[in-house]
Chains A and B, each alone.
Chain A
Amino acid sequence: MLIARNVMESWIPHREPFVMIDNLLLATKEVFESDFFIKSDNMLAQNGFFQETGLIENIAQTCAAAFSYLDAEKHENPRMGFIGAISRLRVYELPAVNSGIVTVVNPLHQLENIYLVKGENWQDGRKLLSCEMKIVVSQ
């Protein structure tokens, strides 16, 4: 584990109750991976299920944590990132509350301070959601 839940707020700008990632498990140039347990009182859950918005936010926060981690590896200050656009969104299944998900992100392209990534949420080998996201990182 690269960043654990109890110190996540030192690595990303999000604060409770809007932290949608538990642990950053992997961060390389090619792939980021995180996990998240969805509690029943999660603000992006409705009718017992974590909503698409939550899954997308989880992908974005996985990127935020991984970018911060990679910046720290290079002894650079972490930069702030923003979702610029979301495309190719596919929703397959919404996870129930009181269950865990794993998220995998692949950075595809970078043009200056804009990153194009592909994100996927998974649960027990089933894909929940996939999308491409453009993330604008402050310079």
Chain B
Amino acid sequence: MYINDVKMNWEEVIEETRDFLSEEFEIDRNLILPENNLKDTLDLDSLDYVDLVVLIEENLNIKITGEDFKEIVTFGDFFKLVRKKLAL
């Protein structure tokens, strides 16, 4: 699939996502693991979720809603949602 005109497979999407999340939220990218809690790992407060939505839209070209976040606890949940939205 193409994201921002770059052809990527699913593994590359995950690596790209780990890159931009670790850079923006200033955390070790090795902490972005499927079993880890997204909110705690990224140290998100309610306002930070807006930044996360913007980042996802800019980097992956998909829209995440408040309703979507209700299903997300871990990075594994998050990656599942991304995969569903990207229809991979």
Contact = CB atoms under 8 A, between A and B. Distances in A.
B50 to A, nearest CB: 5
B53 interface: yes
Contacts of A109: 50, 53-54, 57
A83 to B, nearest CB: 10
A-side interface mostly: strand
B47 interface: yes
B25 to A, nearest CB: 14
Given A111-B66, A112-B66, A84 B47 contact: yes
A136 B49 CA distance: 12
Contacts of B54: 108-109, 116
B9 interface: no
B30 interface: no
A112 B46 CA distance: 10
Contacts of A134: 47, 50
Interface string B45-70: 01101100110010000000110000
A114 interface: yes
Report, nearest first, the 10 A-B pairs whose CB atoms are least far apart. Answer: A112-B66, A84-B47, A111-B50, A116-B50, A134-B47, A85-B47, A114-B50, A111-B53, A111-B66, A109-B54
Given A114-B49, A114-B50, 13 more contacts: A84-B47, A85-B47, A109-B53, A109-B54, A109-B57, A111-B65, A111-B66, A112-B66, A114-B46, A114-B47, A116-B50, A134-B47, A136-B47
Interface of B: 46-47, 49-50, 53-54, 57, 65-66
Interface of A: 84-85, 108-109, 111-112, 114, 116, 134, 136
